[in-house]
């Protein structure tokens, strides 16, 4: 039963905890997008909660590490874990720029136990991505509150409405940051 809490609902978080929307971007948007992903890179930790559905009220915590993609396009690769009580679930997400939008996957994508990222766009301090798995359609919004705070909301489409189902408040994990040596 606990593993059902994690898949695919909490798997949506790794998104990204950090992840993207269909939009045509003006010239220069790619470099602005890269700046967003670079600012989202690093170690993150924080609590989350399932706010709707069968597991409403379930609280969890996540520890994630994000790295900008290295292939020249804007994007991010995320790895880590989320935990409910003593149960721990690996989390991963990859978001990469494809033309004027973003594509990627949470966990192993919709063909496995995860979700596909089917669209996305960066707008200033936030990214909105379209997510899909079979008949499930939704969106994830990740917003940088400041350099050390990232809020993530995952919503699913129910009839003609987007309903928030997961909320996550991540803070930069200062304990994981690399610190230079101090010489006497």
- The residue extents of the domains of the chain are 2-176
Q: SS3 for 58?
A: coil
Question: pLDDT tens per residue, the chain (184 residues)?
Answer: 344 444 444 444 333 333 332 233 344 555 888 888 888 899 999 999 999 989 999 999 999 999 988 777 788 999 999 999 999 999 999 999 888 899 999 999 999 999 999 999 999 899 999 999 998 999 999 999 998 999 999 999 998 899 999 999 999 988 765 544 455 5
Instruction: Count other C-beta atoms under 10 Å from residue 9's C-beta.
Output: 21
Task: For domain 2-176, give its CATH number from 3.10.310.70, 3.40.640.10, 2.60.120.260, 2.40.128.20.
Answer: 2.40.128.20
**Which residue, 135, 129, 101, 100, is CA-closest to 117?**
129
Cβ atoms of 113 and 105 within 8 Å: the answer is: no
Q: What is the pTM of this model?
A: 0.77
The per-residue pLDDT for 93 is 93
The per-residue pLDDT for 88 is 94
The per-residue pLDDT for 124 is 87
The per-residue pLDDT for 30 is 55
Q: 107 — alpha (psi -120 to 50), left (phi > 0) or beta?
A: left
The per-residue pLDDT for 90 is 94
């Amino acid at each position: 039963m606990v593993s059902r809490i994690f898949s695919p609902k909490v798997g949506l978080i790794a998104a990204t905890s950090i992840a993207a929307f269909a939009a045509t971007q003006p010239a220069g948007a790619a470099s602005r997008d890269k700046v967003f992903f670079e600012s989202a890179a690093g170690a993150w930790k924080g609590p989350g909660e399932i706010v709707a559905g069968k597991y409403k009220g379930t609280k969890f915590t996540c520890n994630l590490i994000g790295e900008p993609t290295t292939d020249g396009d804007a994007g991010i690769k995320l790895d880590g874990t989320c935990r409910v009580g003593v149960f721990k679930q690996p989390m991963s997400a990859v978001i990469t720029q494809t033309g004027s939008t973003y594509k990627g996957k949470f966990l192993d994508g919709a063909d496995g136990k995860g979700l596909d990222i089917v669209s996305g766009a960066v707008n200033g301090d936030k990214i909105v991505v379209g997510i899909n798995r079979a008949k499930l359609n939704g969106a994830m919004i990740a917003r940088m509150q400041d350099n050390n705070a990232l809020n993530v909301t995952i919503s699913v489409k129910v009839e003609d409405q987007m309903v928030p189902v997961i909320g996550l408040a991540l803070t930069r994990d200062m304990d994981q940051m690399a610190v230079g040596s101090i010489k006497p």
